[in-house]
Structure 1
């Protein structure tokens, strides 16, 4: 009798999975096509992105990775799925990034909602705003503070995972909230430095797994109280306070400080219109049917979270890669380029944003860093409400499709010796080859959902890298030889696979004045 019941359940399970039969002709392992839990196992092990990359190497540019999920790896699929006006929308996966129970620019499902919110903010993040004016001056001043921080480091050795996180935290908080909500981590404020502690907990990856694969159960776990909470506490994926709790609290406090200041005539204002000021102009108190308090708070908090890890992780890998003995030649070429900079900020003496943006070799170094060490290397899932055709394959409505920078950036047919850090590849190549590489380079996403902070990130990276290598030579600290830094992204830790040892959230670099 038991065997009969099991057989019936098994038959029902198979039948339900046959709903995605249009996907049956797509190559891939049968175990992945059979159940979504096969890919969930890779998530649990922290190997999802590398595993999908291996499947592409074996099966080609189109691989079925779930009963209703397909991974692609080609420029044609990139344009079809992520191009402007594609009709593909974000999946419920992104709802794990809601803040204060409110959706925001990053988590909106529909193209319409996203476009309406983006319209309020696009100019604030435009390239012209970033390169000239008060925002550029603010970033230059923060770079000067970072150089001062390096001066205070004992023996000239800095643990740059931390110090660069302080740098990006101080910039994004002032950009969003103005001085009243800005942090001063680079200046040694212990409370502000402590905001980063909750993202360093290794349990962060386990919590992400539960939030994605068991969302209702996870929500139930973390909303229990009283005796039930005490009983369940040892079994929580991550102990409270959970990931980003401190940062979200700082963001909420900054919102309330700003809201309170609106009633005071002597409210402190920045030299430029901050993000929260732009959003407040659309608050329901200013416009009928406008944004609610927590919608503005959520939007700002999301930008805060997005603006910390991405920029700092990229800068860390850039400095680490240039500090490797085999890459000293790249560092010296960069120094030759930045040494010619004469246009300095009047306030800080730092190379100014506009001149740094024109440095061709520095741009090649940043491109290569983002290619090999993309801060968000994993899949970006999408779905379409109507059937579609991608790379000649019919995809049913509602199926999940995705691509990842990790796989795109490691195609050996496009990037010679793809695991090697080689900025020269972006300069010493034919126009045809360069154009092909650009088609496969996807560090900031694309289309309407392209990273809104791309120009702010580029200004931060170009000014800091130019200022550091104009003043310093860098090398790997003796305690960090033969090791690669690692960064956490969702369920995984990413690092340079060419090195035998990995240290998560740590990177020691020696800075010596030229």
Structure 2
């Protein structure tokens, strides 16, 4: 059953309906599950308590770790690439750049800069790893929707999933464990850019639940091995989901904004009110510092552009399956729905309600500039579902928005963008979407 009524959506997602087995089938790894893929609300709550504080908006905005990471990625990696493209009048594929950028951001916050990726500068490695990651995606359907068919296919030796896909999974598993092992070397680091914030927090929290060596050495050793896999699974989920969704959203944001030079100028005027201004190249008399995240977050037009992009181009527009509880449920006018029935809401439908979002298929950022306490704004916020809702909404939503706003601020302070090739910009049909053409070619010009 697909839910499109907002009241039914609240009943399901804020009312304790458990997740469907679809999640661990689709996104489990290392033989275990992450917070996102846990079907039960109780184990999810335990894990979430370990991590929610370091993903809170207040923590991220005041984090010296994220500040150090942001300075390095924006000034040392991203802006030099775009400045070179603008100076040489070379058009570039911003979708590939976005995938590199978001992977660098997320991996650095999870594991620290020395243990994270540098995909923006290491082009061969990023292309190889992104290909290995993406090439497995077309075969996720079998795990998600027809897992029993996979079992029968193996018995009958019918290769529904090619052998190279299994090999790619092994490469990704090894890669994920390597991040964790490298981060272990920096657990005592005091340098904000090196400390593995998320990895360290999760590991220290999980260690408190282990049996001690003195009580049971064998149980302790077994628990340590299992803990390593559970941490790797959790970190891999944050890494892949965090980079993939933000990259796609940024691509569509640039695409939309590149069609409106006047809106770019209006945005730049707003961005120039920031102090310090994110100027590149950095003047010799200044230090490469960034405005405080709170001041970037407070910019109304930038907020509107991000919100409207996430509304019209939600990176996860599709179903979020839940199961009905015992003994029976009433939803959307249907009574006596039996327990364990799969029900779903989806951002795509909620974001296209014309009564809430007039002309819903058009990108209109200024619809979000209505008075904050107006009934229209309250209704739009109530229907906005890019990050889900309730206790199981996206734990990384604040990181994603802060990262996106900083990136947009850095780019449109320094450059104008125009479209060179947007062939295949429409979204693929998948759980996590991206442009069908897997590219967006833009021209950058120095302001």
The two structures share one fold, judged by TM-score above 0.5: yes
What are the equivalent positions in structure 2 for 1:478-497 lying under 5 Å apart?
480=421, 483-488=423-428, 490=430
Q: Quick one: distance in 2 between partners of 1:204 and 1:168? A: 19
Q: 1:371 to 1:491 in 2, by over 3 A?
A: closer
What are the equivalent positions in structure 2 for 1:168-247 lying under 5 Å apart?
168-201=102-135, 204-205=137-138, 207-218=139-150, 235-236=160-161, 239-241=164-166, 246-247=171-172
Q: 1:216 to 1:423 in 2, by over 3 A?
A: same
* Alignment check: 8 A CA contact 1:330 1:423 kept: no
User: Equivalent of 1:92, from 21, 32, 51?
Assistant: 21
Q: Structure 2 unaligned runs (5+)?
A: 212-219, 279-285
Specify the alignment match of 1:124 in structure 2.
54
User: Equivalent of 1:391, from 314, 324, 332?
Assistant: 332
**1:443 CA displacement:** 0.7
Specify the alignment match of 2:214 in structure 1.
none
Specify the alignment match of 1:470 in structure 2.
413
User: Equivalent of 1:146, from 57, 68, 78?
Assistant: 78
Specify the alignment match of 1:256 in structure 2.
181
The structure with more radius of gyration: 1
**1:285 CA displacement:** 7.9
State whether structure 2 residue 253 is matched by structure 1 residue 311.
no
What are the equivalent positions in structure 2 for 1:372-411 lying under 5 Å apart?
372-386=312-326, 387-394=328-335, 395-411=337-353
Specify the alignment match of 2:397 in structure 1.
454
Q: 1:171 to 1:492 in 2, by over 3 A?
A: closer
User: Equivalent of 1:357, from 271, 275, 297?
Assistant: 297
Q: 1:269 to 1:458 in 2, by over 3 A?
A: closer
Q: Quick one: distance in 1 between partners of 2:272 and 2:142? A: 50
* Alignment check: 8 A CA contact 1:140 1:353 kept: no
Secondary structure at the aligned position of 1:473 is classed as strand
Q: Quick one: distance in 2 between partners of 1:192 and 1:383? A: 38
Q: TM-score, normalised by structure 1?
A: 0.75
1:23-74 deviations in whole A, cap 9, x for unaligned? xxxxxxxxxxxxxxxxxxxxxxxxxxxxxxxxxxxxxxxxxxxxxxx11112
Secondary structure at the aligned position of 1:504 is classed as coil
Q: Structure 1 unaligned runs (5+)?
A: 1-69, 496-502
- Root mean square deviation of aligned Cα: 2.8
Q: Quick one: distance in 2 between partners of 1:156 and 1:221? A: 49
Q: TM-score, normalised by structure 2?
A: 0.86
Q: Quick one: distance in 1 between partners of 2:298 and 2:387? A: 20
State whether structure 2 residue 262 is matched by structure 1 residue 322.
no
Q: 1:148 to 1:440 in 2, by over 3 A?
A: same
User: Equivalent of 2:100, from 139, 145, 166?
Assistant: 166
Q: 1:266 to 1:164 in 2, by over 3 A?
A: closer
State whether structure 2 residue 282 is matched by structure 1 residue 282.
no
Paired positions, count = 420
